[in-house]
Structure 1
Amino acid sequence: MSTEAFAAIDVIRAKRDGGRLGDEQIDWVIDAYTRGVVAEEQMSALAMAIFLRGMDTAEIARWTGAMIGSGERLALKVDRPTVDKHSTGGVGDKITLPLAPLVAACGAAVPQLSGRGLGHTGGTLDKLESIPGWRAALSTEEITRQLSEVGAVICAATSGLAPADKKLYALRDVTGTVESIPLIASSIMSKKIAEGAAGLVLDVKSGSGAFMKTLEDSRELARTMVDIGAAHGVATTAVLTDMSVPLGQAVGNAIEVAESVEVLRGGGPADVVELTVALAREMLALAGLSSVDPAEVLASGRAYETWCRMIAAQGGDPEAPLPSPAHMHVVSAREDGVLATLDAYAVGIAAWRLGAGRARKEDPVQAAAGVRCLVKPGEPVAAGQPLLELHTDTPDAVPAALAALDGAYSVADAVAERSPLVFDTVRSS
């Protein structure tokens, strides 16, 4: 006779029929799934029921709490206010790299537990692993010590954080339930809240290169995550940003690191600098450090010094040359005019096919692979002028990358004014 509090089939039926799951049902099903009592096919059915029927705010908050409770929660004992950042993913989105040391240089502690790339969006850890010697795996003690001594850490999540989410994340990928906003929001927030930071800024992307293609969907996801943060006592702000065009010029791994270093040294593309400073302001506001001007700190070079210390603390050599590609292919403009469009998704797919990303979690990535966008929309071009540089160690990959770029850009006589980089900000109500 079963000693379980509930039967999985009853929980599935309740949601299938449009009912609201009770707190005890949610706590049980997440715990039982983590223990292996709820089978994969049963959780698949429940995930599809949630996808089709949705969840209310209280259900999502409880579901997130149950996933946090499936593992450990980091107790970050540092003297600085702690604040974290998460991006929903994009093309050329290297913002974490300059942002973490910048916010640390402003006086906060930034525990940035990051992931690897899958598909067309790059992974922060893949980028940083192009730095000779740098390591992603740190113990909780190493994370705490580095936060105290440097103020910033970017590393892999420890294995004990939200184990229920790890199982459910893999299941969603193969059951057609990835797009469920309750499941996306609870997945992101369970990991971020378990990291233990007191404040969290979310960069929610919208556009062709983003997970959410429309501003309406991005806004719904942002509001859902901000509400989850509030329910769990974590001050949360979401910034809605454009991902119809790649961020900056560099898309890949080593080339994104190089571009991030340019920003930290006072240069770099204007859009990367703009978004880095905008997110830094929001993080500092949550940390109670609004009086510090991140633009001034960035210009002073202090953020670059913090970057060097952060990389060195994890075994990396911040002065070492970054990997360079064995092969480069240039895509040139066919006519004079103004670059009217440059589709982020297509550029991301091209970089992935060149070796910068992976199709499966176990696939290797090439450190030097990627795409450099030499011209951005709104800029003039002449016939024969280079538009894109394709970088790879495997020249055979170039035709597939070029196929991805077919129709991805256009040249016109004039272009309409571009949409702003930052659309809106969603705060706790």
Structure 2
Amino acid sequence: MKNISFNFGEDLVPFYIGTNCLAQLATIIKQFKFDQLFIGFDDHSKFYHGARFLNILDQNSIPYSTCVIPPGENNKTLENLDYILCTFIQKGCTRQSIIIPFGGGIVGNIFGLAAGLLYRGIRLIHFPTTFLAVHDSVTSQKQAINYLSYKNTVGLFHLPTAVIHDTSVLTTLDEKNIKSGLGELVKNAILFGDEFYDVLINQLNCHKDLKFSSAAFEELVISGINAKNRLLKHDAREKNTGIVFEYGHTIGHAIELSCPHNSLSHGEAVAIGMLAASCVANKMGIMSDEDRAKHDQLIEKIHPRLPILDKDIFLAVWNRVLHDNKRGYVPTEKGIICMILAKRIGELHQPNLYYLEAVPEEIVAQAIRYVLGKTSSGLQHNTPYQVVLGDAGVRGCDRLSL
């Protein structure tokens, strides 16, 4: 198991990664002094890998307690956070304890938030088990839950003590989860170009069926970590330059939360959001037709698609875009939505310190409509796909003919 430590500003966090190396887990964990471990699972991570993980703790006489929540974005809630806090306190969690979220990004987010809240912050060691979480969510101090149907609106920043990962756990993932991890890696390739583009395009060309070996996973994971490290060492809380990691998220988050629960993965939603961002950039003269074609061709290599829907989701997406969590970074006028846009692969548009461009609502609405149509898998019962505007009260869009 190798240590590829990464930076949050001046803080250096060890990241232990290897393949079929769970046997080394106890040695790593024991270097951190603690009274008890508190392991957070969802039903999926507990079912697929929990027994193997807990057996190692048992074999090494490491004391622990567990808490299991249901899987899925719709369970990243205040109610489940309350359940976690109650469970851990009742089982004897103290300031000397360590919380280990063992699962994907949702598990990491909600148990990470619990770690930040208990006793004003106790130690947190991530053990990510999904392709997305291992190179994206755990390489962040952001811990949050969803609230009032809006994504990541209640949370805090809490520095992890360490990250531990065994790439063998990724071999159980289905295509949906693989695409989720690839979506954020595509984003990194677009943001930075260079070696991040080269590594990804090589792996996608070699694995067109998206079935990666453990060695391929490790190369992709390390590439993702290095991309995050490029900016996080200068902007630990992703408040300035680090906000560029939100590329594709303004519309992507809104689409993700507007689809039926758990039907669209986060990374695939971000990929669709990036198609919308290139549409916006092209309409505003920021991205040329040629650069947009190359940008979108990279995204299409992972085939992002919406699930089959039973209704048009435009209005739900639009409402969530209006409540995007990047509001407030820069002053805006009525009828404007701030978005991060790219000029081309490897070069972002930077109108200000926060890379946020003021986009007229009409152009954003057109981009949403474009990607909902482009990535549609169809509607149930052969329902025609249409956007109904007018009396719906959609600010800035009620007069659009899309």
User: TM-score of the superposition, structure 2-length normalised?
Assistant: 0.30
Structure exhibiting the larger radius of gyration computed from Cα positions: 1
User: TM-score of the superposition, structure 1-length normalised?
Assistant: 0.29
Higher helix share: 2
- Structure with greater contact order relative to length (CA < 8 Å, sep ≥ 6): 1
